[in-house]
Chain A
């Protein structure tokens, strides 16, 4: 039987890609001095650590310390998302090439790209000397990073709208403002709201981490307990974080589903 072969240049591309991956993996592994016995020992070491976490520290003293921190992370994430949403919403109109005037959108897009390039953690420790140790720093870091990401996502949504409603508003004598409020916003609002919620889910993980540099939240608690080798309490911190993130994810995903897909009609 004659099975057709892949064209030669495609095969060359495939093999060179595979060898690139293999070579870079070997280069990395040798550069990081990752030897076989370290890899083989790792599962046992991790099992030891996880074993040391159980039984969890369920004393009321532990919960009194951990629960406020967990909620602090939640507040940071939510407030940061609100900051991001409020500021990114008007900016995204200016950044969309079908709404804005002239070439303002290129400038704004570059600014948004610049903001997005800095991880929250780096923003956090730059703000730290000004805003102090505490949740305010974390909120600002999360909020500013969110302006960058939400601005980009929202402006892309606005660029993808149907122009028809805008034309009909123009035809019936509507002003530019009317076009925005009756033509653009009703079209983009569901998607943008769901992006806000999606960003909240991401921000929750980010704000949990921010405590590492002292910007508030549960990360501080985890790193302290791990440093003092109080593994049962570190385990409690982990479990509390997982519960919070899972709950928030589930609620937020349900709302996003409802916004995007609409009410499910029972037949």
Chain B
């Protein structure tokens, strides 16, 4: 008889956690309420959507949305540049490797976390109320969005830098700030550029929907046509957006390969 090693019994966490997860899933689906009868009845409405969706009005879309599409790109460019520029110094304060004061570290870190919890469209709603409807609100909203992502990514990168160069700089008599500037910053600069391009792509995608709450860009056109269920006008706009997004992504992939 071979003595098989005994399989370790699952931990209490797994024993409770997995049934709890399944229960919670069932509960969520019940809360959402799926009524098959209603669904079947409403399925006859699908022609309301699908017919116009597959009969795009290209000429209309090109004529009316090209300006707004440019506006969308401009919002994304400006917001990602400013957001990342603001995030660069902030993430050095929000990293334990470069901020020696643990209280200010905590303050900066929690600030970045707080900004990150608010979804991009919520920022857009807040800023449209605060500074008025238009692309400026969109820029501010995406600025917070890119600030939060860059802050998180970059501060975690700074956490894991090689401490050697900083020590070397300090050994030659540099102050803490000087050593950060000359040794920590050059180490993370390539990552910063790569993250910047990634955030720029995210911003392009996010800026499309900003217009739904009045924060400028092509979403403004989508919103007005959506209310009248003019899916024949929306679908070409969506295709146009996809083309632009794919082109910009290709450009950014090419640039990233060139830099890194």
Contacts and interface: CB of A to CB of B under 8 A. Distances in A.
Contacts of A205: 117, 119-120
Q: Is the interface of A mostly helix, strand, loop or mixed?
A: helix
Interface string A189-206: 000000000000000011
Nearest to B46: A130
Contacts of A223: 125, 213
Given A119-B205, A223-B213, A212 B121 contact: yes
Given A132-B42, A222-B125, A32 B130 contact: no
Interface in B43-87: 43, 45-46, 48-49, 53, 70-71, 73-75, 77-78, 81-82
A41 B129 CA distance: 14
A34 B139 contact: yes
A219 B122 CA distance: 8
B19 to A, nearest CB: 15
B113 interface: yes
Nearest to A14: B259
Contacts of B77: 24-25, 27-28
Contacts of A29: 78
Interface residues of B, number: 64
Nearest to A53: B126
Contacts, number: 155
B32 A136 contact: yes
Nearest to A243: B117
Interface string B112-137: 01100111111001110111000110
B164 interface: no
Contacts of B38: 132
Interface in B225-256: 226, 229, 231, 238, 242, 245-246, 255
Nearest to A242: B117
A219 to B, nearest CB: 7
Interface of B: 11, 13, 17, 24-25, 27-29, 31-34, 38-39, 42-43, 45-46, 48-49, 53, 70-71, 73-75, 77-78, 81-82, 113-114, 117-122, 125-127, 129-131, 135-136, 139-140, 205, 208-209, 212-213, 216, 222, 226, 229, 231, 238, 242, 245-246, 255, 258
29 contacts: A13-B258, A27-B74, A28-B78, A32-B78, A32-B139, A33-B135, A34-B135, A42-B131, A42-B140, A46-B126, A72-B31, A74-B28, A78-B24, A117-B246, A119-B205, A121-B212, A126-B231, A129-B46, A135-B31, A135-B33, A205-B119, A208-B119, A222-B122, A223-B213, A238-B118, A241-B118, A241-B122, A245-B117, A245-B118
